[in-house]
Amino acid sequence: MGIKKKILVGWLSFEAVCLIFALPATAQIVDRVMFSAPPRAAHVIIPVAPGYTEILVASNAPFSIFSQGAVGEMQLSLSVNGTNNGTAFGAQAQNPGEISGCVIPTSSAPSSLYTAVRKTAANKGEVISQAVLVHIKYDPALSPVFTVKTLNHPQAKSAPQAPDCSGVSS
């Protein structure tokens, strides 16, 4: 075997040995480096019946739920996991924050019904497994338009919070 072949075989052997030590170190770097994704809140609005709407929300950041076009009492509740129309949700979700049982939007302009203090995703997984379900009951004569925005959205920063039912006097 010539000198060039010995150098080449020696170099390739050195590379193979180094690779054994480099792969675990590379894997740890990938696990420890935080990759940031833009804040997003994916949602599906489910009109169940007149006066009853459900919103399935999966987010990687805190979010707000808004109502527009309706003035009146709205009852709110939250399910962190369960099934909706036979589809399981929330296996990898967490409670995004305390929800007020009752709010009253006092204007037909957009107002915040609920503001989450953390993301819904607790662990990695499919979007539906990171989702929570928000239940909203209201007067069937009303026709509110619901939207969901992350807290960095301009509407989330400027829209007023709907007061709790206990905080509004008649």
Q: Is 135 exposed, middle or buried (0-12, 13-18, 19+ CB in 10 A)?
A: middle
98 and 114: one domain? yes
30 and 47: one domain? no
CA distance 62 to 98: 12
The reported pLDDT for the residue numbered 45 is 94
Joined tokens for residue 32: 């420890």
Residue 1 domain boundaries? 1-35
One-letter identity of residue 103 = V
11 and 64: one domain? no
153 and 82: one domain? yes
18 and 49: one domain? no
CA distance 108 to 122: 34
Residues in the chain predicted with pLDDT less than 50, given as ranges, are 170
Q: Coil, helix or strand for 123?
A: coil
CA distance 125 to 123: 6
Name residue, tokens 């994916």: 42
18 and 57: one domain? no
CA distance 86 to 70: 31
Name residue, tokens 């499919």: 126
CA distance 75 to 63: 19
Give pLDDT tens digits for 30-64. Answer: 556 656 778 889 999 999 999 999 999 999 999 99
29 and 45: one domain? no
65 and 138: one domain? yes
CATH number for the domain harbouring residue 73: 2.60.40
The reported pLDDT for the residue numbered 170 is 47
What burial letters (b/e) apply to 151-170, b meaning 16+ CB within 10 Å?
bebeebeebeebeeeeeeee
- Output DSSP code: residue 51: T
63 and 127: one domain? yes
The reported pLDDT for the residue numbered 32 is 63
27 and 86: one domain? no
Name residue, tokens 């008649």: 170
Number of domains in the chain: 2
The reported pLDDT for the residue numbered 145 is 94
6 and 86: one domain? no
Mean pLDDT of the chain: 88
Q: Which residue blocks in the chain are alpha helix, DSSP H?
A: 3-32, 154-158
47 and 120: one domain? yes
Q: What is the pTM of this model?
A: 0.75
